Structure 1
Amino acid sequence: MNTFKVSLQETSNDTIIKFEINQIITKHQSYEFNNIDEAKPSPLAQQLFYLPFVKKVYISWNFIALERYSIVEWKDVQDEVLEQIEAYLNDGGVVIEESQVTKKKPVTVYAESTPNPAVIKFVANKKLVVSLFEFTSIDEAKESPLATELFHFPFVKSVFIDENYVSITKYDIAEWQDITMELREFIRNYIETGKDIVNANASQTTEKTEAQSANNFESLDDTSKEIINILDEYVKPAVASDGGNIQFISYEADTKKVHVMLQGACSGCPSSTYTLKSGIENMLKEMLPGKVEMVEAING
């Protein structure tokens, strides 16, 4: 059984606090409740309203936000609330009773071109996953029911899923103008049914990987940490908008060489070499003078 982990996240409004969860809990829907009567579709929200200081409950894909009355400060009660939410979820408590929900937001998906002519990004108006996943074959896709079904299309070469989009790499046998509409409608219908995008154990595996990465970060040398921070702040948002991802692999101090991995639309992209040399490599040379001379990439 996959364990729920809850963490605190402050907001710009000191009366509201977020409890982030390591799994999707609402089948990609969002709900707002102003009192215990409105919270009938959510046993969890009803339980939270028994706390006298809870004014409003907002439940979204992987977090719960609570607004408080002024009778308490969050610092005095937040740890107990976190423990209550975590225990409720791990005891199998129901977050939303779907039969009680009458209004559902329509699912929209649009296709967006990427710098890689073999890849198109299908963007949804809902969050799909908590962490990114890449599958290059139907065997790898066992963790993802959506990716498994996509591989039944003979022209699908690989599937990359992150936050609210799916990037698909095609084989040359098909042209995008012939298959884009079919894929877009398939993905939209799949999301609309509320079926799992990835299995729970896939999320758990990713969480372990992320935790391991965080632990590894602390053991890295200072230059490697600086490189990771630069990639996270300046590079990842740009490549994510193109349907891809970049991951730091290693740094060689003696040769001043940085190794990275390209995933999704960045993998095999004709412009990726130019982007690495003229973009990322020059940026690292400029921001870390004398420490970086070359950036080399492998495709994910």
Structure 2
Amino acid sequence: MFIQTENTPNPQVLKFLPGRTVMEAGSQDFRAPEEAQASPLAAEIFGLDGVNRVFFGADFITVGKLASADWDHLKAPVLAAIMDHFTSGRPLFDGAGAASADEAVYEGEAAQVVAEIRELLDTRIRPAVARDGGDILFDRFEPDSGTVWLHMRGACAGCPSSSATLKSGVENMLKHYVPEVTRVEQTL
């Protein structure tokens, strides 16, 4: 098994490409060791000194490190953990698997606006962000103010350029194609 690595715009995050599917559907962001207990692979990676975040995308894994940690020392153990996991045949998740979020139900015109927002996110924005090792997920839309709330995940979470991506890229695109959108904010 050959695992490629790629830098991301966030210098604290490295993207690992195992050459196979990681998540069949969706993505999963682990921001603490306690959250990672649902996944043997995430728990193994969090067990390495200096790791502070693990993200599973469709065909990649991004790993975040503490500023005090050095990729020169951390990269090889992460590669070993990923290789051991995939060659062992263990499942990505124990038991119930990835957590699912409760979603608000929208009706009427708001439902149409949310459908348009989700379509743009899924077809134009998320694929571009995934190339950098991250993901952006819809959280909610406030019809009264025209505000869209999004989750930045993976390499995007905490990235120095994430605010610019959110405001210059995502907000401008959504406002252009969905006139009901007046601004985009990040859910923490």
TM-score calculated relative to the size of structure 2: 0.89
The letter of the residue matching 2:42 is A
State the AA in 1 paired with 2:156. C
Quick check: 1:298 aligned with 2:178? no
Following TM superposition, the consecutive aligned residue runs of length 4 or more in structure 1 with deviations greater than 6 angstroms are none
Decide whether the 8 Å contact of 1:113 with 1:119 is kept in 2: yes
Contact 1:136 1:159 survives alignment (8 Å): yes
- Gap runs ≥5 in structure 2: none
Partner of 1:182: 77
The number of equivalent residue pairs is 186
Distance 1:238 1:120, change over 3 A: same
Contact persistence 2:38–2:93 (CA under 8 A) = yes
Residues 1:235 and 2:125 are matched in the alignment = yes
Does the Cα contact within 8 Å between 1:129 and 1:198 map onto a contact in 2? Answer: no
Question: SS state of the match for residue 201, structure 1?
Answer: coil
Percent identity at matched positions? 34
Select 1:124's aligned residue among 14, 18, 21: 18
What residue is the counterpart of 1:154 in the other structure? 49
1:230–1:124 Cα change, 3 Å: same
TM-score for the superposition, normalised by structure 1: 0.58
Deviations 1:109-160 (A, max 9, x none): 1111111111111111121222321111221112101111111112010111
1:147 is paired with a residue of what secondary structure? helix
For residue 269 of structure 1, report the CA deviation from its aligned partner.
0.8
Q: Which amino acid aligns with 1:288?
A: V
Which residue number in structure 1 is paired with residue 178 of structure 2?
288
Alpha-carbon displacement from aligned partner over 1:218-241 (angstroms, at most 9, x marks no partner) = 785221221111111110111111
The reply to whether residue 135 of structure 1 matches residue 25 of structure 2 is no
Q: How does 1:1-300 map to 2 (within 5 A)?
A: 107-131=1-25, 132-203=27-98, 205-206=99-100, 209=101, 213=103, 216=105, 221-289=111-179, 291-299=180-188
Give, as a single letter, the amino acid of the residue that structure 1 aligns with 2:184.
V
The gaps in structure 1 that reach 5 residues or longer are: 1-106
Distance apart, 1:260 and its partner CA = 0.7
Q: Distance in 2 between matches of 1:236 and 1:163?
A: 11
Q: Conserved in 1, the CA contact under 8 Å of 2:48 and 2:77?
A: no
CA contact (8 A) 1:155 1:173 kept: yes
Q: Which amino acid aligns with 2:113?
A: T
CA–CA distance in structure 2, aligned partners of residues 217 and 236 of structure 1? 22
Q: Distance in 2 between matches of 1:114 and 1:167?
A: 9
Q: Helix, strand or coil: the match of 2:22?
A: coil
Q: Provide the rounded CA distance (Å) in 1 between the counterparts of 2:75 and 2:187.
A: 28
Code of the aligned partner of 1:293 = T
**1:248-276 CA-partner distances (Å, limit 9, x unpaired):** 11222222211111111111111010011
SS at match of 1:164: coil
Pairwise CA distance, 1:216: 3.9
Counterpart CA distance in 2 for 1:237 and 1:200 is 29
Instruction: Check whether the contact 2:147–2:185 (CA below 8 A) recurs between aligned residues.
Output: yes
RMSD: 2.0
Render the CA deviation track for 1:45-91: whole Å, top value 9, x for unaligned: xxxxxxxxxxxxxxxxxxxxxxxxxxxxxxxxxxxxxxxxxxxxxxx
